[in-house]
Chain A
Amino acid sequence: MLLPILVALVAVTSVTGGFLVQDAARSSTNSSGPSLIGLQDMFASVAEANAAATAAHLATAVSGQEDRVNRNLYLDALGRANDQVALVAADLGPDDPAQAPLRRVARSLAAYSGDVEAARLANLNGLPEADDRLGQALSVVEFDIGPAVAEATTLTRDRFDRDADQGRLVVLVAIAVTVVTILAMIGMQYGLALRTRRLLNPFLVLATLAMIAVLAVLVRGEWVRTTAIDDARFGGLNAIVNTAELQSRTFTIQSELALALVDDGSSSTARRERFDTIEQLALEADSLVEFSVADADSARERAAGEALRVRWDRYRSDVDAVVTAASAGNATEATALVRGPGLSSFNGVNTAIESVLSDNRTQFIDGVEVADSAVELNPWLCLLLSVAAGLLVLVGIQRRLGDYR
C-alpha cells in the first residue's frame, strides 16, 4: 500500500503548492505589482505638481499675473496624483496594511492643494503671507506625503516579496515526495521483475512516467517563476526605484531653485545653503543618470537612456547658469532663466525620465506576467497526472496479484 499512499501525497502536496503559487503569482500580477508601480507614478505626479506649483508661484511673484502654463501643469499633475491614489487603493484591496499610509497620502494631498490655492490667491493679491503658505504646502509634501508614500511602498514591497516566496516550501516538499515516489516505483518495478521474472510491469512504467512528468512540471514552474520574479524585482523594480529617485532629485532641484529666488527675505547664507543643496542633489542625479544608461539592455532602452543623458546635461547646464546668475546678484536674469530655458529643459528631462520609467515598467510587468503564466496550469496538470499515476499503480498492483494466483 506504500505506493498509492505516496502517489496520494504527491497529489496533495503538488496540487496544494500549485494553487498557493498560482494565488501568489496572481497577487503579484494583479495587486502588489501594479500597486508598486502605481505608488511610484503617484509619487512622481506629486513631485511634478510641486515643481509646477513653485514655478507658477515664482512667475506670479515676479509678474503679478497667473502663469497659466505652469498652473495647468500643476492641476494636471495633481489630478493624476489623486487618480493614482484611487487606483492603488483599488489594486491593493481593502484589507491591505498599506491602505493606512495611503489614506494619509489622500488626506495630505487635500491639505497640500488647499495650501497651494491659498498661496496662489495671496500671491495674486500681493499679500505677504503668500510665500509662507507655499512653504506650508512644501512641508506637507516633505513631512507628510513623502514618508507616507515611502511607508506604503515598503509595505507593498514586503507583500510583493511574500508573494514571490509563497508556496515555495510546499512545492519543495512536493518535489521531494515526488522524487521518493519515483524511486519507490523504480524499486517496486525492480522487485517485481525479480519475483515474477517479468522484465516490466507496463502500468507501473506508465505511472513512473506520470510522476516524472509531475516532477518536471513542478521544477520547471518553480524555476521559471523564481527567475522571472527575480528579473522583475532586481531588473525592473530596482531600475524603477533608481529612476524615481532621479526624478525626485530633479523635482527637488527645480523647487529649490524657485524658492531660492522667490524668498527675498532669506539671508545670503540661507540662499547659499539652498544652492549647496542643489549642487549635492545634482551630483547624486549625475550618478543616477549614468546608472540608468548603463542599466539599459535593449536598443530601445539604450536610446531612451542616451536621450535622458542629453536632456539631463541641458538641464544641469541651465541650473548652473541660474545659480551663477543668482550668486552674482543678478536676480532678474536668474528668474528669467528659471522661467524660460530652465523650465523648458526641466520639462525635457522630466519626460525623458518618464520614458525610461515606462521601459522599466514594461520590464517589471513582463516579469510578473511570465511568472503568472508559468504556473497557471500547474495545479491542474499535477492533479491530472497524479490521478492517472494512482490509477495506473492500482491496476499495476492488481496485475501482480493476478500473476500470483
Chain B
Amino acid sequence: MTAPLIIPGRGGPRMSRRGFLAAMGAVGLSACSDLGADRSPDLGGDSSLRVLNWPDYIDADDDGDVYYSGGTLDGLVAEGLTVDYVAGYEDNVGGFQIVLDEAVDVSPPGFDIVVPTNWRAAQMIANGWAEPLPIELIPNHVNIDPAFLTNAWDRGCRYQMPWQAGITGIAYDPALTERPLTSVNDLFDPAFAGRVGFIGEMREAVGLVMLANGDDPSRPTRSAAEAGLDRIVEAAGTGQVGAFTFNEFAPLLAEGRLVAAMAWSGDVALLQNERPDIEFVIPDEGAIQWFDTMVIPAGSANIAAAGRFMDYVYDPANAARITEWVQYISPVMGVRQVLAGSGGDATALADNPVLFPDDETRNRLFTWGGLPEADEQALDDAYAALIEQS
C-alpha cells in the first residue's frame, strides 16, 4: 500500500479570527480589525445588474425577445432581480473593446457581468480587472462541471463561472462538397478554392491548423503557432479562403456561398434547424474547445446581484432551458438529466455527443494553452492584419 504523505502539524490552543477581533475591539486596537473581519468585500447592490453577453446566447421567443414570459430573464425578474441584458459582445477583439470602454476603464464599470472567451477572461483576471466571485451567494457553484475547474489561470473558478462551452470544428454542405470532410486538411483542398470559411478567432483557426500540422494547441509554442498561421496566410494568398467569419459562417453556408467552414458547434446546431443536411464534424486530428465565461468586472457596484444571477443560471433546470435554446455544451452538472427527463426534442439533445461529449470525444478536444502575452499579441496582430487584407 501507499501510505499518505503527512505534513507535520501541531495542535494547541487557538483563537479564532472572530475571537481575535473581539479581543482587539476590547482594547481599541482598530488598526488590526481587518484580520478578524469577514473577508467578504462590500458586495454592493443585489437587486439590479447589467449583463454583456454574445448574441443569441440565451433563450428567446420567436420574435427574439429575451424577456419573454417563462424565459430565463423573466424568471430572474420573478426573483426580484432586474436584468439589463445586452447582447453586444460580438467577438473577443471588438467585444472586448466594449468591456474595456464600459466595464473596466470606468468606475463603477458599465456592466456587472461580462462573458468573454476563456483566454480573454484569463487576461482580465491576470490584470486585476475581475472581482472575486461572491461564492457565499452562489450555492450552485458546486454544480460547475469539474472539467472547467482545473484551468491553471483560475483553478476552482474563484473569479469566473463558465456560461457555455463550444467546439470549433468543421461544418460543410455535403451536397456541395460531394464527399465527406473528415480532416482539417480538407479545408485546403483546391477543389474548394474560394468557398472555404476560416473562423475569425486566431486561437481557434491557428489551433485547428496546428492540429493538422501535428502540433498540440493545448501546449503551443510560438514556432508551431506561426507555422499554423503561415499556412493560413498562404491559403488566403492563393484565394483558398473565401471568408474569415465569426458566426456569419452560418448564413454563408446556408446560402451556398461557402461549402465548408471552421464553425462553432452551437451555431451549427441552430443552423441545422433550417438546414438539417449541413454536417458538423470533429476532424480526425481533433477540434478546438473553448468556453465563454461570466466575469464580474473590477469595481462593479452590484456584485451581490451578479452572484444571484450566476446562482440562478447554475440551477440545472434553468441551465437546461438555456442549453435547449443555444445548444452549446453546458458547464452545469445535472443539465443532461433535466433534458433527458423533459421529453420531446429536449430528450434527444441529452444524447447529442456534440452537447455532451463522451470520453473518447473529450480526448480529441484541445483547449488553446496560451503563449506569453507578447507572443499572443503578435499573433493576434498578424491574424487581424490578414483578415483586414482579405
Contact = CB atoms under 8 A, between A and B. Distances in A.
B145 interface: yes
B20 A227 contact: yes
Interface in B115-172: 135-136, 138-139, 141-142, 145-147, 149-150, 152, 155-158
Of the four ranges (under 10, 10 to 19, 20 to 34, 35 or more), the interface on chain B belongs to: 35 or more
Nearest to B9: A241
Interface in B221-246: none
A1 interface: no
For the complex of A and B, 10 pairs with smallest distance between CB atoms:
A234-B14, A241-B9, A348-B146, A347-B146, A146-B5, A351-B149, A351-B156, A299-B136, A303-B136, A298-B38
A281 B4 CA distance: 8
A73 B35 contact: no
Contacts of B362: 69
B7 A231 contact: no
Contacts of A297: 16-18
Interface in B3-21: 3-18, 20
B5 A43 contact: yes
A46 to B, nearest CB: 8
Contacts of A373: 31
A125 B343 CA distance: 46
Nearest to B12: A234
A168 interface: no
Contacts of B8: 150, 153-154, 157, 241
Interface of B: 1-18, 20, 23-24, 27, 29, 31-32, 34-35, 38-40, 135-136, 138-139, 141-142, 145-147, 149-150, 152, 155-158, 218-219, 359, 362-363
B9 A252 contact: no
A252 to B, nearest CB: 4
A370 B156 contact: no
B2 A224 contact: no
Interface string A232-265: 0111001001101100110110011001000000
A348 B149 contact: yes
A366 B34 contact: yes
Interface residues of A, number: 81
B9 A255 contact: no
A142 B2 contact: yes
A73 B294 CA distance: 24
Contact of B142 (A68, A228, A256, A311): A311
B135 A235 contact: no
Contacts of B12: 233-234, 238
Contact of A224 (B18, B32, B157): B32
Interface in A349-367: 350-352, 354-355, 358-359, 362-363, 366-367
A354 B156 contact: yes
A147 to B, nearest CB: 9
A307 B141 contact: yes
B158 A358 contact: yes
B364 to A, nearest CB: 8
Given A67-B363, A241-B7, A245-B4, 8 more contacts: A150-B6, A150-B8, A227-B24, A228-B20, A241-B9, A274-B1, A344-B147, A366-B34
B135 A303 contact: yes
Interface in A258-316: 259, 273-274, 277, 281, 297-300, 302-304, 306-307, 310-311
Which residue among B4, B39, B142 has the maximum number of chain A CB atoms within 10 Å of its CB?
B4
